[in-house]
């Protein structure tokens, strides 16, 4: 059974965004200021479970549409890259 990670998009208070990544099994939290940090954190944390993870996405209510779209597009590119590497 996959371990559940929760990724929450948040505003950083200075005009940007970050992603809070939470491992719900052991409550580890990673704060990712960009997609590269997110990629590294999810791979590192996922390795502990043989990469058998499920990711639930959330966003805080105050996240701007522009920031949400920026993260969504970056994650979409990451998922495509990851899926191609997995083949």
Give the model confidence (pLDDT) of 46-85 as tens digits. 998 987 889 999 999 999 999 999 999 999 987 787 666 6
What DSSP element (H or E) covers 22? strand 17-23
Predicted structure pTM score: 0.88
What is the number of structural domains in the chain? Answer: 1
Q: Among all chains, which residue has been given the structure tokens 């979409």?
A: 76
Structural domain boundaries, residue 44: 3-86
Residue percentage of the chain with pLDDT more than 70: 93
The rounded Cα 37 to chain-centroid distance in angstroms is 9
**What is the mean predicted confidence (pLDDT) over 7-35?**
97
Give the domain CATH number at 71: 3.30.420
* Arithmetic mean of pLDDT over the chain: 91
């Amino acid at each position: 059974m996959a371990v559940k990670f929760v990724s929450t998009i948040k505003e950083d208070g200075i005009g940007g965004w970050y992603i809070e990544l939470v491992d719900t099994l052991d409550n580890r939290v990673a704060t990712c200021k960009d997609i590269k940090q997110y990629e590294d954190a999810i791979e590192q944390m996922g390795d502990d479970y043989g990469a058998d993870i499920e990711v639930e996405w959330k966003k805080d209510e105050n996240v701007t549409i522009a920031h949400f779209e920026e993260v969504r597009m970056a994650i979409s590119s990451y998922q495509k890259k990851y899926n191609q590497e997995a083949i």
